[in-house]
Each structure stands twice: as structure tokens, then as C-alpha cells.
Chain A
Amino acid sequence: MAIKLKIDRQDVSVPEGTTVLDAAAEAGVHIPTLCHVPKVTSPGSCRVCLVEVEGARTLQPACVTPVMEGMVVRTHSKRARQGRQMSVELLLANHPWDCNACVRNGQCELQTLAQTLGITDVRFPYSREEIPVDTSTPAVVRDMNKCILCRRCVAVCQDVQDVGSLAPRARGFDTVIGAGAGENLCDAVCVQCGQCAAICPVGAIYEQDAIEDVWRALDDPEKHVVVQTAPAIRAALGECFGLEPGTSVTGKMVAALRRLGFAKVFDTNFTADLTIIEEGHELLTRLKTALVDKGEVSLPMFTSCSPGWINFMEHFYPGLLPNLSSCKSPQQMFGALAKTYYAEKEGIDPKDIVVVSVMPCTAKKFEADRDEMMDSGFKDVDYVLTTRELGRMIQEAGIDFMKLPDEEQDSPMGMSTGAADIFANTGGVMEAALRTVYEVVTGRELPMEKLHVTPIQGLSGLKEVALTFEKCQPDWSFLEGVTAKVAVAHGLSNARKVCDMVADGEGGYHFVEVMCCPGGCIGGGGQPRMTTDEVRQARIKAIYTEDEGRPMRKSHDNPAIDQIYKEFLGEPLGHKSHELLHTHYQAKAPA
């Protein structure tokens, strides 16, 4: 039913249930917000989006006030303006005044609000006591002195990720966002996904900065510094330079990395393709054990590319760890190979090689530090930068990003296919795997339009598809007529649902892709802010466009993969692969 109301003297007609905020947007009126994030949280508690509703005693928060027939709304009356100013002035009163030296300077929502609302004075005293900055984890820093208690991080941690690490403690003015029962994240069950850092409006939660470490490596003439970029970076990095979300900047990104001084600009895509070969064979081996040898094997197999997801499994579902693919993530496969295969091939002492990753992810910083990730004999990946940090480095170096030419990655570890591109988004790893597995088993290309498995694309939380193998190749005849059922989940609250189903013996899945962050890596905790569903869709579209524009779109077509097996690894799941590309995870303290 349509509801008619007046907003700032304009007649507006919107569906029942629309908020005043959205109705105003329809009418071309932008009402400022702070604690409200569409589809994530609307606690109505920051009191910034206040409007005057005729007949109401108090100002109403537009983000949670539903429209009503005949409602008369004034969004910028004197009372509404003063109310908003009072709210923001009160927030500013107890927010530190070191904006110039803040990581969010220039990109801070509170700063922007103060400017938009014309606040030029803060008349109330600062009364907060200093809280030590929490640098206890490799992923994120929490400076609760800057926290404005909007609780967006709490909503994302509790509701979107269902991890529940962050929660308010104490009461009133003493309220502080705590980690579990303690003050520091290291004391809590935290998966390091960084969604809190991505959603924080101010400088209170941000990634552990590796920029200085990377500069030091680049400045060191003894070091051979190579860089890999995750598939999701190319669809988001442009946002750091004012480009629209969903603008692909692969060529400019490569050029910028060269200008920053990296000796080789490689691509995590290369090891994404390699992951498909290893993981695909692992899946087929598990299926063979189950179907032919009738042996003990854990099915469904879960993907293992997402370190936040790995942490989640270790904490919450240690019983399902045997279901996890033993493949390392593409980042870690890359690191292990850069310090073995690449070092050998180029005749460089691996101790002089520094591997830098650019990731959309804060959990990757944690992953690179894991004890399991030293199979090359060194720390496989030395430093991890998020997309945001790379953006800052390019800015600091004075590189005019928009004027950069498009350049290509270096060989051989920069060569990849479209199947690797789509590792960036939810459903992508599964689609890439199906492209290869189906063709390996049947000898024919995946029979889907443009090779896309549409049922597992898009942003619904839990997706599934079934695929029947027919006319199989002789080696795989045991799969003849077998219908493989696969599922795709993104965001840990959805992952939890799948885990519960699997733990209860439900679902009947053979293979499950899980990405920790909503939308997959394109929505990672290290991506440019703010990642909304619209932004996710735009980035995903850019990724699929990249994929479709490639001459090679299936991992097994990548000649560099053939080459590495011939020159170095031998065969999929072979001895060397096991040594360098696979690992096992351990249960962590129960949640």
C-alpha cells in the first residue's frame, strides 16, 4: 500500500514500511546518518538523522521512523537543525582533537558530519579517561579513545558475522566496546575478519599498518621484494582515488606497484588457478575414496581460502576440521612458491626475497603470521597490506594514479585465468572449481552459458546447485550418473548455518565454498570504506567482466600452471605439493 506524506512541503508517495530516511531520499533530500548502516543496523541511537514530525513531542530519528499516512516531515527546520547540531556537538565534545594525525583524517564520517552541519564550536568539556590502544592482534587496532559508541562494529560482529567478540561493557558514560569479557581482542574469540574496521565511521578501529615495514624492505638494496595482489583488489583500489565502485584498475594497479619499487609484480591469481588444480584433485580423490574404496573420508569438503573462515572453524567447529580442504590459501601457496620455485628459477637466495601481499583482508595478516606458514624454510609471506594501505602508499609516493598506463604482471607467477579472477566474490571459487572438475571428469566444457553457474552467484546468504556427471572419462567412470551437490555461503552467520547442517548430517553436500566476509573477498575487511550491498554488486560485476574478457577462463588452461608442475611440483597432490601447498589446522580454545 502506498503511503502519502509531505517532506519539506513536497508530496511523497512511498510503500508502507518505508522509513522517513528512505522516503526523504526519494524526494531528493539527504538526511545525514551515523549509526545507521542499511541492512546491517539501525539502532536509532546516535540521534543524528533527526527530523521534525508535525504532532510529535520530540524529534524523530528518520532511519527508524516509518512513514505514516498524512505525516508532515520537516528535515531542516530550525528545531531539526539544532537537534542534529546538538547531537554532533556532544559527540565531538568527547572525541579526541587530533584529527590531523588520525588515520581517518579526511575520510572520517564524524568529521564530515561536523563540516556538513556547520559546527564551528564545541562548548562542552572533554571528560574521558585515557584507554590503552589495543594492538594485541596482527589484524586490527582498536583505539577506544576515538570510539563514538555508534555500535556499528558490534552489529557486524554479532549479527552479520555471528562471532560475538565485540560487545558494550559498563554503562552510561563509562560504556566501552569490549572484546569478549576482556579489553583486548587477543583475549576474545576473534576471527580477525576486520569487518569492524571496515564499518567503523571514525578512527577507532583500523588495520594494523604494514606500510612502514614494506617501505623498509623496498628501501633495502639487499632485498628482492616481490608483490602479489589478490583478485579482489583490482575491483576496489580505484575507490581510493575517487573512482566509482566497480571500476577495474588492474593495469594501473600493476603500474603503480612497479613505480613503488617492487622487483616483480605477480598475481595471487596464479596460485588461485593452482588452488583449483590441487583442491579439485583433492575433491575427486575424496569422492573416489567414498564411492569406490568405501573408505573413511570427510564430506562435504570445505574450501580453505579464507583465513577468517579458518579461524572460525578452529574456534567454533573444530569437529569439522577434517572436512576442510588441506590446500593452503592462494596467498600462502604464493609465498611458499616464491621462496622456493621462483628463488630457484631466478637464482636468488630465498633469504633475500621479501614477499608482500596486497589483500582485501585483515585476517590475511594473521594468516601470514601463522606457524604453519613457514614451509619454504622462511616466513612464506612477509608483509600483508590491505587495499586501503596500498592506496595510502600510492598517495604517499605522489603517484598520479589516474595518469598511469595499463601494465601487465610479470611472468611466470603473474599469469592467470578468468577462473582465478572470480575467487574475489562469493560463488567464484566454486564456479572456478566446477569449470575444471567438470571438464576433467567428462572431457567436456561446463555446459553453462558463459561458463557461469548462476544459481550460486549473487548476494543471497546461502546458495546451492546440483550437477550430474554424465559420459565420464574412463578414469572417472565411478562418477557416472553421480549428482554432485554443492553449496556456497558468505558471511559467517551463513557459514554457521551450513556448519550446523553438516554437523547434523543434513544438506547432502559434496563441496561447500565459504567466504568469511559478506559478498566474499570483494567485501573484505581491508577494502575501501564503505562497502554496502550496492558496492558489493558493483565490484562483483567488475570481477565477472574481467573474467569474461580473458582469453583463458579455466584454471587448467593456464600454461604457467602446466609449467610449474613440469618444472617443479611434479603432479597435483604430489610430494612437493604436500610439502609446500597443503597444511592442517588445529582446534583452538573452545568458544
Chain B
Amino acid sequence: MAKPRAYVMVSVDADTVVIGAREVKTRLAAEIGGCGLGGEVRVLETGSFGPSDAGVVAAVLPDGVVYGNLTPERIPQLVEEHFVKGRPVKDWLLPGEHFLPDPENSDPRGQQYFGRIVLDNCGRIDPESIEEYIANDGYFALGKALAEMTPEALVEEVKASGLRGRGGAGFPTGLKWSFCASEQADIKYVICNADEGEPGTFKDRLIMEGDPHKVIEGMALCGYALGASQGYVYIRGEYKLSIERIRHAIEAARENGLLGKDIMGSGFDFDIAVKIGAGAYVCGEETALIESMEGKRGLPRVKPPFPAKAGFRGKPTNVNNVETLANIPFIIRNGAAQFHRIGDPGTPGTKVYTVLGHINRAGLIEVPTSVTLRDVLEDYAGGMRAGTFKMAQLGGTAGDLLDASMLDVPLNYDSLAKNGHSLGSGAILFMNETVKVCDFLHACMKFFAHESCGNCNPCRNGMEALLELTERLKQGAGYPGDIALMEELVMGMQSIAFCPLGQSPAAPVLSAVRYFRDEMLTGIDADAVRPRPEHTMRHLMKLAS
């Protein structure tokens, strides 16, 4: 068979499936075949290229052309113009070349950059083809580790890479692994936390949809390092396509001897199963996730014991985020030193973000940890869509609000910590001046109050109080002292709540007060008097009856 001269990569992910990506793909194949080009032009499915607001997207390789907003109706014209007449349809081209799956130079500012680590295959390969993954160095790291490295050396390599957890807390991954590795047990577990619940964050989903084998390989490497024989991917139930593709990848890996007994003849046994979550935010907390996996109500556990000692079914367990695990193959394949050269030395590597809000280009990006918020806004997100930049929330609802004074701080744990901020889970929400701080805070508190599991008192009652406090401010009916009370409450919750969920409101609330105190003061009614508590109760009783 003749070698194809071109590939059309149709991005099929959970978002595009519902707007007809598979129909577009079918139509493309039919039209191309109809023109007698079936042998020259191949139509393939791939994961997300990044943009999340451009409808069905398809790239033509090696031409390097990306079309957006495709519909089955547009296909005949597209095929006629592009493939028969050889001229791209300009109206449907997507702006922003940096969404192009170009591994050699995906940093738009031309800085020295070793290419994408996590998303290098996304949009380039068929996620349902293990052959394509293998052809792109896939499972090389696993083979290298099993053939050349001891489990201890593997843990040391990850430690040396300086990789820090990408789930939000930024805990050093190698150190976390070493806790579980040193435990003795008849069975240990590796869990991939794919319960991505932070509003606005969907990077893990796109990683799983675009390059599921990378996650599988990362888990297998982790299993080898820790002496674990069983892995689980805990995926939230809404992520239908992720579940499908991860399951497919597990099957394919098993068929190719890359999972199961005696992997690559090394004597290492490791298998993976998928567990589906029911969508509670708190289940992203690793002990609540484990409880949920055991079939119980998803409530965080008392720590200690930590999962490394007694996790799933009481056995030593290591839980890592999807993106964290997806970094592992690169580190093992290229060495810790290579990884360490990328990005900021305190948080080496890259970070995957979903960027959204009042910007020109929303979607998925992977950037070195040395870029600033301004870089992301101007270079990757294409600037503000309307109005001027007012603030950005970094890391989902549990993240800090930053104002323009923070635009030039590099986005990594250390640089942000120096400024009193944290990086969060991987969402950046840009907002212009139309968003009122008190409205925004109230929306955040609504989310927390909804997701509070109700087990610990400070979170259960504290979130409800915050809901009321922000509602009052929003309506301009705050009592004098409410802002100080709110600060006291969130700081209190930060030190007394059971799990990170109850500690979370501190980030948005305290940063909002820090940057937007004057605006928040306009929510206070200077003449208002706080009623005695029993009166607020009677008021409510009346409403209820």
C-alpha cells in the first residue's frame, strides 16, 4: 500500500463528541474516499489539541494546518478545496499556531524549551492505538526501568528530578514514593487520582483522552518503584470518554505484555483496573477517594495512618494525580537531569493548565514552570477578549485571586509562595472588570457549601456561614465588621477543618480581601446591626412554617 501523503487528525474528546466530532470524521473519510484519495489521505482520531472553544477541530499533517468549528456539512467543500485543489479554506482556519502539535517548538516566545512532556502526543497520535504510542517512544521508559534500574534507583531518579505533585499541593513526588516503597506488605497499591473536581480544571481528562498510555506507563513505573502489583485509576463518572480510552489502553497494554504477569520477562507483575467515582468533590482528597473505592461514603479519613502505611484495604497505597504520573515516562526515558533543566529549578518541568474566562483562546496548554501569568494571558490565551484584566483565579475555586500586580510572577510553587500564593490544580480563570469580587466570592462559597461532605463541623457550618456572609456583601447589606469576621472564619477553618476542602475558602477569601478590600467594603451597610443569634433563628423558623 502506498504511504499516505497526509493525515487528518480529528480531535475527539468528551467535548467534541457531543457536537459531532465522530460524524465529522466519518464524513471526512467518506468524502476523501469519494475523491479517490483514500490511499493518500488518512483520517484518524486523536485527543484534544488544546482549544476548548473552537468546536470540532482537525489538523492536517504534515501541512500544519488546523481547522476549527467543523460540521459534517462543511466537509465536502473542505475536501474539495484542501485536498483536491490544494488550497486551505482560510475562513475555517484556527488562529494561534501554538495549539499546533509541534513538539520541537511549542513555546510561542521562542525560549529554549524541550518540548511538551505531558501533552507531546496529544493531537498527534491515535489514543486508541498502542502502536502509535510505542512508535513515539512509548513504554521505552518502562522497558528501560525493568531492564536497567532497581526499584530503589527509580525512586531516586524521581526524587532527583524534583517533580512535585501536580494535583495542587505540590508535594515532592519522589519523597511520597519513598514512604510507600519502604513499607513491607503482601500487596501494595498504586492509585491514579483522576477525580479531577476543581471547577474549570479538565486537564487530566484531556490527558487521559489524548494519551492514555502515558498514564498507564507512569503507573506501571510507579508500581515497579514501590513494589506494588495492583493499580487503580479512579476516574470521575462524568468522564465517559476517559474511562473508555483508559480501559481500552489497559486492554491493549495487557495484550502486548506491558501489563499483567512477568512484564517484558522481568518477573514484575502489575495490573490496572478502573474505578469510577460518583462525582463528589471531596473524593479528590486521597483518603476520601480510598474510602469511596472501598465502597463507603466518601469521607476523608483520620490521618495518621497515612495511605503510604495503611491505605486502600488497609495496605500501603500511593496516590498520584494523572498529570504527575504522565511526567514519569519522560523523566525515566531522558533522565532526571534533563527534566530538571526545564522550567523553574524549584518546580522543574512543565505545568498543564486549562485557561478560561474573558480571553481570546480558551483551552489546554502546557508551559514550562518559568512562565508568568502575563505570558499565559498574552501569548497563550491571546489576550483579553473584552475589557481589561481585573483578576485571575489560579487553580480552580480553591485557588487564590490575583490582581494585575501579580501578572509578572512566574507560575510555580516557590515564586508564588514568596508572594503568599499557591499554584493550585491547573486552571487559570481570567476575569475583566465586569466581575464583581463579592459576586465571585459568593459563587465560590456556593460551590464549597455544595461540596462540603458534612462530616466535620468547621467545614459544614463554616461554609454555610460564609455563604451568608458573602450573600450579605453581595447585596450591599453586610454588617460592619463582616470582612474581619470572614477573615477570622476562613483562617480558623484553615487551621481546624478536617481536610483540605474545609481549609480551602481561605485562599479565595484572603486574597480577595488583600487585593480588593476597598471594593468589598462597598458591600457593607454602615448602619446595619447584627441581630442576636436567637433572632436570626426565629426569622428562619417563620420562613419555614
Residues of A that sit less than 8 Å from B by CB: 42-47, 50, 57-59, 61, 64, 66, 79, 82-83, 86-87, 90-94, 96-97, 122-130, 148-149, 168, 170-175
> A124 vs B490: C-alpha distance in the bound complex, in angstroms?
13
Considering only CB atoms, which chain B residue lies closest to A50 in the complex? Answer: B496
Q: Assess the A83–B452 pair: CB atoms within 8 A.
A: no
Residue from the list A64, A82, A92, A174 in contact with B454, Cβ < 8 A: A174
Q: Smallest distance from the beta carbon of A37 to chain B beta carbons, Å?
A: 15
Kindly identify which residue among B453, B460, B489 contacts A86, using a CB–CB cutoff of 8 Å. B489
Given A130-B541, A130-B545, check contact A149 B454 (CB 8 Å). Answer: yes
Chain B contacts for A64, CB-based, 8 A = 302
Contact of B452 among A43, A46, A97, A173 (CB under 8 A): A173
Question: Can you give 26 A-B contacts (C-beta < 8 A)?
Answer: A42-B302, A45-B456, A47-B457, A47-B458, A47-B496, A47-B497, A58-B495, A59-B496, A83-B492, A83-B496, A86-B458, A90-B461, A90-B462, A92-B533, A93-B461, A93-B465, A96-B537, A124-B465, A125-B468, A125-B533, A126-B534, A127-B467, A127-B468, A130-B545, A168-B297, A172-B453
A170 nearest CB neighbor, chain B only: B454
Does B136 lie at the interface of the complex (its beta carbon under 8 Å from any beta carbon of A)? no
Which residues in A have their C-beta under 8 angstroms from that of B304? 66
Interface status of B451 (Cβ within 8 A of chain A)? yes
Quick one: closest A residue to B453, CB to CB? A171
Assess whether B463 is interfacial by the CB under 8 Å rule: yes
B interface residues (Cβ-Cβ under 8 A, vs A): 280, 297, 302, 304, 449-458, 460-465, 467-468, 485, 488-489, 492-498, 503, 530, 533-534, 536-537, 540-541, 544-545
B539 nearest CB neighbor, chain A only: A126
Main secondary structure of the interface of A (DSSP, over half): loop
Whether the Cβ atoms of B451 and A126 lie closer than 8 Å is: no
Given contacts A91-B461, A168-B297, A173-B461, contact A125 B536 (CB under 8 A): yes
- A94 contact set on B, CB distance < 8 A: 461, 464
Query: Which of B453, B461, B498, B537 has the most chain A CB within a 10 Å cutoff?
Result: B461
Chain B residue numbers with a CB within 8 Å of A79 are 495
Task: Given A127-B540, A168-B297, check contact A91 B457 (CB 8 Å).
Answer: yes
Residue numbers in B under 8 Å from A42 (CB-CB): 302
Least CB distance, A81 to chain B, in whole angstroms = 12
Cross-chain contact A172 with B540 (CB below 8 angstroms): no
Asked whether, in the complex, the Cβ of A87 is within 8 Å of the Cβ of B457, the reply is yes
Q: Top 10 closest A-B pairs, CB basis?
A: A175-B454, A97-B534, A172-B452, A86-B492, A126-B537, A90-B461, A124-B465, A130-B544, A45-B456, A122-B533
Q: Which residues of B are found within 8 Å of A172, using beta-carbon distances?
A: 449-454, 460, 463
Q: Is the CB of B495 within 8 A of A83?
A: yes
Query: Are A126's CB and B540's CB within 8 A?
Result: yes
Closest to B297 in A: A168
- Contact (Cβ within 8 A) B533 A173: no
The CA-CA distance from A175 to B450 in the complex, in Å, is: 11
Residues in chain B near residue A170, CB distance under 8 A: 454
A47 adjacent to B498 (CB under 8 Å): yes
Closest to B488 in A: A86
Residues of chain B lying within 8 A (CB to CB) of residue A87 = 457-458, 496
Task: Count A-B pairs with CB separation below 8 Å.
Answer: 119
Least Cβ–Cβ distance between A560 and chain B, in angstroms: 55
Partner of B494 from A58, A82, A171, A174 at Cβ < 8 Å: A58
Structural contact, A93 and B458, CB atoms closer than 8 A: no
- With A and B bound together, what is the CA distance between A174 and B460 in angstroms? 9
Query: Within the assembled complex, what's the spacing in Å between the Cα atoms of A249 and B290?
Result: 52
Residues of A contacting B495 in the complex (Cβ-Cβ under 8 angstroms): 57-59, 79, 83
- How close is A310's CB to chain B, nearest CB, in angstroms? 31
- Rounded to whole Å, the gap between the CB of A71 and the closest CB of chain B is 12
CA distance in complex: A124, B485 (Å): 9
Can you name 20 extra interface pairs (CB under 8 A) apart from A82-B492, A91-B457, A175-B460?
A: A45-B498, A47-B496, A47-B497, A50-B496, A57-B495, A87-B496, A90-B457, A92-B533, A93-B533, A122-B533, A124-B468, A126-B536, A148-B457, A149-B454, A149-B460, A171-B280, A172-B451, A173-B463, A173-B464, A174-B454
> Which of A47, A96, A172 has the most C-beta atoms of chain B within 10 angstroms of its own C-beta?
A172
Closest to A129 in B: B544
Contact assessment for A123 and B485 in the assembled complex, using a CB-CB cutoff below 8 Å: yes
Question: Once the chains bind, are B458 and A90 in contact (CB under 8 Å)?
Answer: yes
Q: Say yes or no: A127-B464 contact (C-beta < 8 A), given A47-B496, A47-B497, A97-B534.
A: yes
**B297 contacts which chain A residues (CB < 8 A)?**
168
Shortest Cβ distance from B460 into A: residue: A173
Contact B457 A46 (CB under 8 A): yes
Chain A residues near B451 (CB, 8 Å)? 172
Q: Hey, which chain B residues are within 8 Å of A97, CB to CB?
A: 533-534, 537
Nearest CB to that of B540 among chain A residues? A126
Q: With the chains together, A523 CA to B142 CA distance in Å?
A: 61
Closest to A122 in B: B533
Distance between Cα atoms of A124 and B461 in the complex (Å): 9
The minimal Cβ–Cβ distance linking B470 to chain A, given in whole angstroms, is: 12
Contact assessment for B503 and A58 in the assembled complex, using a CB-CB cutoff below 8 Å: yes
The contact of A123 among B449, B457, B530, B541, by CB within 8 Å, is B530
- Give the shortest distance, in Å, between B242 (CB) and chain A (any CB): 24
Min CB gap B478→A, angstroms = 12
Q: In chain A, what residue has the closest Cβ to B492? A: A86
Expressed in whole angstroms, the Cα–Cα distance for A175 and B489 within the complex equals 21
Whole-angstrom CA separation of A45 from B492 in the bound complex: 15
- Tell me the smallest distance from the CB of A94 to a CB of chain B, in Å: 5
Assembled-state Cα–Cα distance A93/B492 (Å)? 15
B291 CB to nearest A CB, Å: 12
Taking the closest CB of chain A, its distance from the CB of B300, in whole angstroms, is 9
Given the known interface contacts A45-B457, A130-B541, the answer about A171 and B533 at a Cβ–Cβ threshold of 8 Å is: no
Knowing A125-B468, A127-B540, the reply to whether A45 touches B455 (Cβ < 8 A) is: yes
The distance from the CB of A56 to the nearest CB of chain B, in whole angstroms, is 9
Tell me the minimal C-beta distance from B301 to chain A in angstroms.
Answer: 9
The residue on B at minimum CB distance from A175 is: B454
The one of A57, A83, A126, A130 in contact with B533, judged by C-beta atoms closer than 8 angstroms, is A126
Q: Which residues of A contact B496 (CB under 8 A)?
A: 47, 50, 58-59, 83, 86-87
Kindly list chain A residues whose C-beta atoms are within 8 Å of the C-beta of B453.
171-172
A43: B residues at CB distance < 8 A: 302, 455
Q: Output the least CB separation between A123 and chain B (Å).
A: 6
Cα-based distance from A93 to B454 in the complex (angstroms): 15
**Minimum C-beta distance from A129 to chain B (A):** 5
Bound state CA distance, A59 and B456, in angstroms? 14
Closest B residue to A94 by CB, please name it.
B461
Closest to B498 in A: A45
Expressed in whole angstroms, the Cα–Cα distance for A196 and B422 within the complex equals 44
A contact residues around B533 at 8 Å (CB) = 92-93, 97, 122, 124-126
Chain B residues contacting A83 (CB-CB under 8 Å) are 492, 495-496
Complex interface: chain B residues within 8 A of A127 (CB) = 464-465, 467-468, 540
CB distance from B543 to the nearest CB of A (A): 8
| Chain B: minimal CB distance from A474 (Å) | 60
